[in-house]
Structure 1
């Protein structure tokens, strides 16, 4: 279907269409004039279009969503307002209730159900997805769906839900999609047009509040950009402020000079590293500097919870106070409102008094490890201007209404779940987008703290790049597959998957490859003609040469693999005290093994060489397998980090009398030397008639081009084949596995399948199998909660819990069965080439069991701790609520009445104390 989406970019296209009567009425109720992009979006909506609105954080996108609410109420229809997280749903519910009254607005978040039959219902996106799969009667009369933060569909864990909703909504429902600024808005809009029909895309890249970029070097604040130079030279691009450049050059020169002087005083032979002498400005001094410059309130983003808490504690140890006595009184009343229901016995373990002291001084941390009641208190106080400095993780940047005058970034590197990676331009834009409060500030400020590894030019590149591409994370899963089959059958389900944004992007990615294949096919035809055409003798000869080269490449690769395998095996069996010879490189010569490594994949034993170098070696250091030439006695404890220990050991190694073998030439054991197939091919080549042609070499060059192009074309065809219909192939593999396990029979969903279709969990099939096999039957409420936690909880520690432990024999038996079923399921997934269900985690079993039995909070936190450190209260509450969510599903889906009853009792037992306060 051709893309007919109407794309409007503001402010370059500021011509405003004639406003309809509903927009006039809506605008008249507002206390501010509408911006051009808001008018364009609302006009399109009133004219019957769906809209995709992409605009910066704080630009006022939600006004368009509120206009959809206005249209629904005016027409007597319904509007669902969806958000990615419960905190945003609660916030939006409060906003809309204040405007339209309690009778008109409802809330559905899984935890809460308030006035669900209202004409306007705020909900999390998962709730709407579940309603669509259940064909809920609440969908009758639905005219509008607002999808706030729709760019969340890129989230690799929960993003698929957004696409499911977009694909399943009835055609007559108008979709209002609100997104942060993304660089591929047209691509996303083109897909929306394809699957939803008439869609207007409105893109506004203008921040409502100008943002100034700075770098804080020591206690001096510099502008990042030379705005005068850029204004004078429009085509100059990004120009870093010259005063900043000069200052950094002088600072580095002084540091180099100082490091030489220090080295001379200490008698060292080399130059010390200036980075080792660098001392960052303390957090209290940074906040005090911002206060002096009139740049508070500020959010400092620190990419770890522990880092946020440490920064707050550093400020509490200083004399920093940012509040007046009158503000302290107001802060106390807000604290009381949010924490009055907290059990007094739990206040000490929650760190209440330190948290309160910080707030009364205008300081706070904000991260997911905090108790929700504490987090929401911080949010309210910050919005009121009573908390002036917050240290937060990046989760704050997702939609929560906490704008500041200034955003501070201490580092431009964060841990992404797998490794420490540089911030992307999109992440930088998202974080600094919090700076500048509309209606309060005339400008916002982003401040990056300088350190020796920071390059001002790289910061300028981050700050000036507006690339934030939206990538789909959609893929079929077990629950989704069951619901699709139950609603529309296999063929229509495949067709729906092929309409997803994920497949849309995948298909688009192969367009260039398909064009390349077509071009190569034409070139191959021309080269074949030069070689004599199809069936020519030389074409046959050229193909024979290519078969020889392919065989030689295969044998060479096999030889390298065999050599590495032998080297790995040899390193694996080395033991402490073995003396070996490193054959080549800077470390060549004798070495003694200080620490063995039995890793069969990539062993890296620790060695000390006769040249006093200590470090780890790998198979890459050995073109032939290492072997023990002898042994030497080692002290019980060897501290290889100290120069004295290395010197003494190296001396002992040299005095053993063991010598490295001479570099005699090894016999060539290349696989190609004895390969019969290769020998046969070479004989066939020499006996071929073309082998004696006078123009053979000239034709050979053409033949090599032909062979190279043919290989390249085949590789491109394989890529296209793997990408095209990739989701449908995954869907078919899931169908096969579910069919083997009896969830689907003869193309229809069985009763077991329908129960699976009502389980919404990352481990949905594992849960369903445990229920079906009766592994969780007969458990007491607290035991069921403990076992259910194993498929919900994820430890922050690596390595998990290999031993099956539990407070009762029934829990241990159920967990053993759960792990057995998981192992069987994983084997099936490997066989069907499907994504693997994550392994159960037993780290929360004891904690939730104790809590469900009524034990004190402190005992539960310690039971869930890691390496002696108790679990944070916020994490404890979050995991408790996730266990509650799964138990609610068990209560509604389990065939066993005993499990249903135990699940309901467990929910009531868990929902107490801190878990019941300020549910969000």
Structure 2
């Protein structure tokens, strides 16, 4: 825990100080455990920390929402203190292993190694200790398994609980919250979210009494800037102490700095003058660059770092949103000769790097890019992204926190990672690829990214710098910087594994009831409440409209019905007539022959024309080549006609007729004129369609007579009545649609669970409320493709496979190709190819069953990692393995390879625990072969 030393405010009269002392003494009597805890802290607690801790000592749960670095973990640490003081247990959960490892070290420093344990799936240290740090998935698995370690559990800390919005891992948080015993106090620690009250209300509903503590004031003020070229400007004009950028929204007026406005105006003019503007809506094309003009370029990254260094704004994190961009930025800094470290700092960096990487094989250093990475570190610059080797990322984090690395170029994953604050955060762009398209940053994303700026106890203030580009409006940046909108949206949905565990523990009906207690359903129901209220309001309005539209002469609704029926009939007849005309045109064009004379009814080519080539395609459509009496030559289509196109006569043509020759066109025009053929008059053309439409016209006549005979037709206020009647009818339609939405949303998750249970019953995993042997196996498989894994095991798909082939097949159910390298992988031949194909067949059968029952299909199988993991399992070197991946169509970094390999190991470990003995032995053998070299180093 790194915080500044803070002491209570000591000014005021002796009477004031005495009064405060009396209040403090009363607080110590009411909250003795908190008073004990405060004595162990090297600083005075902030009001929101005190409020959260008091709620815990009162026996309530608590949700604490506060900005990054505000110190909300103090409340979690007080939960540990309370559990130990009462002889109970506290589980401290985090979303990622790196955070678990960090918290484990922090708590050992406070309470000693005998009282603190660690569980992260592949790591188990002192797991029966009274305080255990773990990933949230581990706790979920313990709850389903009914672990004896849950006995005497009094407190659970859910750090970074806002992760429940994560698409893939979010449901785990809700499962834990719903399954924990009622007497366990939950401590939720979250980033600042705009719907904290909604989330807290749900927690209180499912967990009992709970306090919601929200603190929106950053412990270190954040000042936003924009950099135009090499010049750095304040975004806002005045640093008003009464209302600054770190204050809650609406607490003051913020104005864009006029100096920044002038600089942007000058830069825009320069960009326009030299044709290098950026994308500007409504003024320029893509990238705003006129053809042939030089492209505007952002400031050099080296220049940006040097400018920040001159202003005393290092260390800095620059968010680039691209792994390749981060690596390129470091290479650019190294090539430029940039050096941000002293000789003494370089010595410290070398020692830390040597200590961290001592287990790396010399043969792997080249393929890992070790020397380039090390050179950057010694100069004080580094990249940080998911593609880095884990030990490389951990080393960067240690060096940055120690102040030895001064500039880090990172992807946005760093904003959700471990504690790694900087003095300054730089955003190169205000947009990023969100997985489907390029989109602007939201205010919540901006807040999350810039939350890293400002080190508590070190910096007086933090700084956020946005690099200007042509078309960027500083008012948009100002809007992002002054708002705090980060809504928490549940991603909860039932899975197969969840379903069998719930049914096994609770039975079907209780399982359905529990699912419908989820935050996802709570939010859906919240929306339903609003929609239901609207339905109620609409119903009242419908009744009011019905009264207003009444006519003393007759039924206005009936009269409106006749008018609507007439309008519908006229539209239908018009559509039918158009369709008949199109059909007649197509039929006649398809029957034309060479030499036929036809009439072109309208347009510049109207008049008679002779057909040179019918131009009938194999599908029956025709585009005849003609020469008109006006000497135009070309092809016509059905769009040139309105109905029948009969042949009016014929003219004799030569064997070869070149329509491109002016003489030929002139001769054909004369031939048409001398043929005696005449175009039919308009009346005769209309008569050809009269018989087909006469029956329809009779129906319209009957309707028109009924309308004229209706009593309301003669009312002097008829139009006013109809105006209200149309509103009435429109509101009825809107209300019916809204009511359908309400019906669909209510119990939607319960309905999804019903479908899952039905499929599991059909497949033999459930028998009523009881689990079959296959169901018990499925209950111990935790992955997105859980049912496919279970099917492969029970059907013997993987029986007899070699360890490399099994690892390859399992990887297909985990691996996901990056979006910048999609779908190019090739399935290997031989045993691996056969096993992968058999696995794909199982997935296809399950996906088909899901579609039939109305469930979303299990994620696609991806064989992109199969060849690489098989090669590694056979003992190939890292360089050879990555070469195999590339030759198979998948280009992955060493860091990605390690990450995916560890996930394959995790699933193989699960398979070894549930599979029949022969497959279990193969899985264990594969795990042993995969856990070597870089895969076995450092934390995942």
Q: Structure 2 vs 1, CA of residues 750 and 300 (structure 1 numbering), >3 Å: closer, same or farther?
A: same
Whether 1:905 and 2:925 are equivalent positions in the alignment is: yes
1:75-90 to structure 2, matched below 5 A, reads: 75-90=86-101
Query: What secondary structure, in the 3-state scheme, does the structure 2 residue paired with 1:834 have?
Result: coil
1:875 corresponding residue in structure 2: 896
Q: Could you tell me whether the CA contact under 8 Å between 2:233 and 2:260 is conserved in 1?
A: yes
2:804 corresponding residue in structure 1: 782
Aligned equivalents of 1:843, 1:555: Cα separation in 2: 57
Q: Could you tell me whether the CA contact under 8 Å between 1:892 and 1:900 is conserved in 2?
A: yes
1:341 corresponding residue in structure 2: 359
1:186 corresponding residue in structure 2: 197
Aligned equivalents of 1:881, 1:765: Cα separation in 2: 21
1:650 corresponding residue in structure 2: none
Q: Could you tell me whether the CA contact under 8 Å between 1:685 and 1:691 is conserved in 2?
A: no
Aligned equivalents of 1:260, 1:302: Cα separation in 2: 22
1:392 corresponding residue in structure 2: 410
* CA shift for structure 1 position 526: 3.3
Aligned equivalents of 1:350, 1:340: Cα separation in 2: 14
Whether 1:309 and 2:327 are equivalent positions in the alignment is: yes
1:145-160 to structure 2, matched below 5 A, reads: 145-160=156-171
Whether 1:727 and 2:749 are equivalent positions in the alignment is: yes
Deviates more, 1:733-742 or 1:840-849: 733-742
Report the aligned-residue RMSD: 3.5
Q: Could you tell me whether the CA contact under 8 Å between 1:800 and 1:841 is conserved in 2?
A: no
Aligned equivalents of 1:87, 1:227: Cα separation in 2: 40
> Which sections of structure 1, spanning at least 5 residues, go unmatched?
1-10, 262-269, 565-582, 585-624, 631-655
Q: What is the CA deviation profile of residues 585-609 of structure 1, one whole-angstrom value per residue up to 9, with x for unaligned ones?
A: xxxxxxxxxxxxxxxxxxxxxxxxx
1:819 corresponding residue in structure 2: 840
Q: Could you tell me whether the CA contact under 8 Å between 1:804 and 1:812 is conserved in 2?
A: no
1:187-266 to structure 2, matched below 5 A, reads: 187-227=198-238, 237-259=253-275
2:471 corresponding residue in structure 1: 453
Q: Structure 2 vs 1, CA of residues 81 and 528 (structure 1 numbering), >3 Å: closer, same or farther?
A: same
Q: What is the CA deviation profile of residues 527-573 of structure 1, one whole-angstrom value per residue up to 9, with x for unaligned ones?
A: 43456699985544444555666788899999999999xxxxxxxxx
Q: Structure 2 vs 1, CA of residues 225 and 499 (structure 1 numbering), >3 Å: closer, same or farther?
A: same
2:188 corresponding residue in structure 1: 177
1:332 corresponding residue in structure 2: 350
Query: What secondary structure, in the 3-state scheme, does the structure 2 residue paired with 1:103 have?
Result: coil
* CA shift for structure 1 position 855: 0.8
Residue among 28, 32, 35 paired with 2:46: 35
Residue among 830, 850, 853 paired with 1:808: 830
Whether 1:858 and 2:867 are equivalent positions in the alignment is: no
Q: Could you tell me whether the CA contact under 8 Å between 2:446 and 2:480 is conserved in 1?
A: yes
Whether 1:845 and 2:856 are equivalent positions in the alignment is: no
1:666 corresponding residue in structure 2: 642
Residue among 88, 92, 101 paired with 2:103: 92
Aligned equivalents of 1:125, 1:674: Cα separation in 2: 72
* CA shift for structure 1 position 819: 1.4
Q: Structure 2 vs 1, CA of residues 413 and 678 (structure 1 numbering), >3 Å: closer, same or farther?
A: farther
Q: Could you tell me whether the CA contact under 8 Å between 1:410 and 1:448 is conserved in 2?
A: yes
Q: Structure 2 vs 1, CA of residues 319 and 508 (structure 1 numbering), >3 Å: closer, same or farther?
A: same
1:915 corresponding residue in structure 2: 935
Query: What secondary structure, in the 3-state scheme, does the structure 2 residue paired with 1:147 have?
Result: strand
Q: What is the CA deviation profile of residues 55-80 of structure 1, one whole-angstrom value per residue up to 9, with x for unaligned ones?
A: 00011111111111111111111100
Query: What secondary structure, in the 3-state scheme, does the structure 2 residue paired with 1:202 have?
Result: strand
Residue among 27, 47, 72 paired with 1:18: 27
* CA shift for structure 1 position 749: 2.2
Residue among 726, 743, 760 paired with 1:704: 726
Aligned equivalents of 1:178, 1:561: Cα separation in 2: 65
Deviates more, 1:518-527 or 1:370-379: 518-527
Q: Could you tell me whether the CA contact under 8 Å between 1:806 and 1:812 is conserved in 2?
A: yes
* CA shift for structure 1 position 149: 0.4
1:558-637 to structure 2, matched below 5 A, reads: none
Aligned equivalents of 1:280, 1:35: Cα separation in 2: 42
Q: What is the CA deviation profile of residues 750-806 of structure 1, one whole-angstrom value per residue up to 9, with x for unaligned ones?
A: 221121111111111111111111111111212111111110111115796588733
1:574 corresponding residue in structure 2: none
1:611 corresponding residue in structure 2: none
* CA shift for structure 1 position 405: 0.6
* CA shift for structure 1 position 520: 1.9
Residue among 522, 525, 531 paired with 2:543: 525
Q: Could you tell me whether the CA contact under 8 Å between 2:317 and 2:422 is conserved in 1?
A: yes
Q: Could you tell me whether the CA contact under 8 Å between 1:83 and 1:125 is conserved in 2?
A: yes
Q: Structure 2 vs 1, CA of residues 101 and 282 (structure 1 numbering), >3 Å: closer, same or farther?
A: same
2:657 corresponding residue in structure 1: none
2:673 corresponding residue in structure 1: none
* CA shift for structure 1 position 258: 4.5
Alignment coverage as a number of residue pairs:
814
Q: Structure 2 vs 1, CA of residues 535 and 198 (structure 1 numbering), >3 Å: closer, same or farther?
A: farther
1:885 corresponding residue in structure 2: 906
1:473-492 to structure 2, matched below 5 A, reads: 473-492=491-510
Q: Structure 2 vs 1, CA of residues 404 and 489 (structure 1 numbering), >3 Å: closer, same or farther?
A: same
Q: Could you tell me whether the CA contact under 8 Å between 1:312 and 1:364 is conserved in 2?
A: yes
Residue among 767, 775, 780 paired with 2:789: 767
Aligned equivalents of 2:102, 2:757: Cα separation in 1: 40
Query: What secondary structure, in the 3-state scheme, does the structure 2 residue paired with 1:518 have?
Result: helix
* CA shift for structure 1 position 905: 1.1
* CA shift for structure 1 position 85: 0.7
> Which sections of structure 2, spanning at least 5 residues, go unmatched?
1-8, 10-19, 245-249, 278-287, 583-601, 604-619, 626-631, 646-688
Q: What is the CA deviation profile of residues 856-914 of structure 1, one whole-angstrom value per residue up to 9, with x for unaligned ones?
A: 111111222388774211100000010011101101111x2111111111111100000
Q: Could you tell me whether the CA contact under 8 Å between 1:531 and 1:702 is conserved in 2?
A: yes
Aligned equivalents of 1:491, 1:514: Cα separation in 2: 26
1:126 corresponding residue in structure 2: 137
2:608 corresponding residue in structure 1: none
Task: Decide which structure has the larger Cα Rg and report it.
Answer: 2
Q: What is the CA deviation profile of residues 170-201 of structure 1, one whole-angstrom value per residue up to 9, with x for unaligned ones?
A: 00000010000011111111111111111111
2:763 corresponding residue in structure 1: 741
Q: Could you tell me whether the CA contact under 8 Å between 1:215 and 1:448 is conserved in 2?
A: yes
Q: Structure 2 vs 1, CA of residues 243 and 487 (structure 1 numbering), >3 Å: closer, same or farther?
A: same
Q: Structure 2 vs 1, CA of residues 866 and 286 (structure 1 numbering), >3 Å: closer, same or farther?
A: farther
2:668 corresponding residue in structure 1: none
2:530 corresponding residue in structure 1: 512
Query: What secondary structure, in the 3-state scheme, does the structure 2 residue paired with 1:475 have?
Result: coil
1:587 corresponding residue in structure 2: none
Q: Could you tell me whether the CA contact under 8 Å between 2:222 and 2:462 is conserved in 1?
A: yes
1:107 corresponding residue in structure 2: 118
Query: What secondary structure, in the 3-state scheme, does the structure 1 residue paired with 2:132 have?
Result: strand
Aligned equivalents of 2:127, 2:571: Cα separation in 1: 67
* CA shift for structure 1 position 255: 3.5
Q: Structure 2 vs 1, CA of residues 256 and 676 (structure 1 numbering), >3 Å: closer, same or farther?
A: same
Q: Could you tell me whether the CA contact under 8 Å between 1:743 and 1:750 is conserved in 2?
A: yes
Q: What is the CA deviation profile of residues 270-293 of structure 1, one whole-angstrom value per residue up to 9, with x for unaligned ones?
A: 994898442322111111111111
Whether 1:832 and 2:853 are equivalent positions in the alignment is: yes
Q: Structure 2 vs 1, CA of residues 378 and 274 (structure 1 numbering), >3 Å: closer, same or farther?
A: farther
Whether 1:300 and 2:322 are equivalent positions in the alignment is: no
Q: Structure 2 vs 1, CA of residues 865 and 62 (structure 1 numbering), >3 Å: closer, same or farther?
A: farther
Aligned equivalents of 2:104, 2:863: Cα separation in 1: 36
